[in-house]
Amino acid sequence: QQPVQSPQAVILREGEDAVINCSSSKALYSVHWYRQKHGEAPVFLMILLKGGEQKGHDKISASFNEKKQQSSLYLTASQLSYSGTYFCGTLRNSGGSNYKLTFGKGTLLTVNP
Amino acid sequence: SQTIHQWPATLVQPVGSPLSLECTVEGTSNPNLYWYRQAAGRGLQLLFYSVGIGQISSEVPQNLSASRPQDRQFILSSKKLLLSDSGFYLCAWSGGTGDYEQYFGPGTRLTVT
């Protein structure tokens, strides 16, 4: 069950803020966020765990609402380097000790000067 | 520190030809390994994952196969490529326990002609 990301695309001017949302219809173990620049591999940004613990990037923040199975990524005072496609991944137990990460379709973020 | 290698970086193959893509991980033991495919402008589709040597789980029925002959080696193969196999192939690894954040290799861009 693929998580749903919104918006699909957003265009900002440098210094503006943006929020990217990720929601799932299934119970989640954790939510992961990745950024992919054009032609490159995705890069891990952060992970949000049940109970509110957050690990990863120190300049980008995120939240995880366990009851609603939703996560939001907050990009404040955006920089040109923030441009790229952002993917959320939702981790679920797929049986026994196997955990599977399912990615959303991505949000294309463009930051202009 | 851990590093993940993939080769080749780019590949152009005719329809019906075989395929072999290789992925190796350094600096960690007993990782979970993953193969993803990304069509142009699209999201990440999980193809195979492995939790140990010889243990392969297939996510999507297709003409591709995967093998894990060594702890830190993951191979993606096909006997006969289809046009629809074109895409950006990404290998990733995660710890076998813990938070399961994934780290991606540089990818192989495959064009089937």
- Token pair in block for residue B19: 């395929």
Among A29-43, A91-105, B17-31, B34-48, the least confident range: A91-105
Query: A20 vs A97, which has greater pLDDT?
Result: A20
Checking if the pLDDT of B96 tops 80, the result is: no
* The pLDDT of residue A67: 84
Are the C-beta atoms of residues B72 and B24 closer than 8 Å to each other? Answer: yes
Checking if the pLDDT of A53 tops 70, the result is: no
* The pLDDT of residue A92: 80
* The pLDDT of residue A31: 92
Interface check for B5 against chain A (CB to CB < 8 A): the answer is: no
Which residue among B42, B99, B107 places its CB closest to the CB of A47? B99
* The pLDDT of residue B39: 87
Average of per-residue pLDDT values in chain A: 88
The whole-angstrom separation of Cα A9 and Cα A112 is 14
Identify the closest residue of chain B to A86 by CA–CA distance: B43
Taking a contact as any Cβ pair under 8 Å apart, which residues of chain B between 76 and 105 contact chain A? 90, 94, 97, 99-105
* The pLDDT of residue A30: 87
* The pLDDT of residue B36: 95
Query: A56 vs A49, which has greater pLDDT?
Result: A49
The whole-angstrom separation of Cα A10 and Cα A78 is 12
Q: What is the mean pLDDT of residues B90-106?
A: 87
Average of per-residue pLDDT values in chain B: 92
Pairwise CB contact (< 8 Å): B46 & A102: yes
The whole-angstrom separation of Cα B46 and Cα A76 is 31
Residues in chain A: 113
Q: What is the mean pLDDT of residues A51-67?
A: 76
Checking if the pLDDT of B32 tops 80, the result is: yes
B39-59: pLDDT as tens digits: 887 889 999 999 999 999 888
The whole-angstrom separation of Cα A87 and Cα A45 is 10
Q: What is the mean pLDDT of residues A10-25?
A: 94
Report the gap between the CA of A83 and the closest CA in chain B (Å): 15
Q: What is the mean pLDDT of residues A97-104?
A: 82
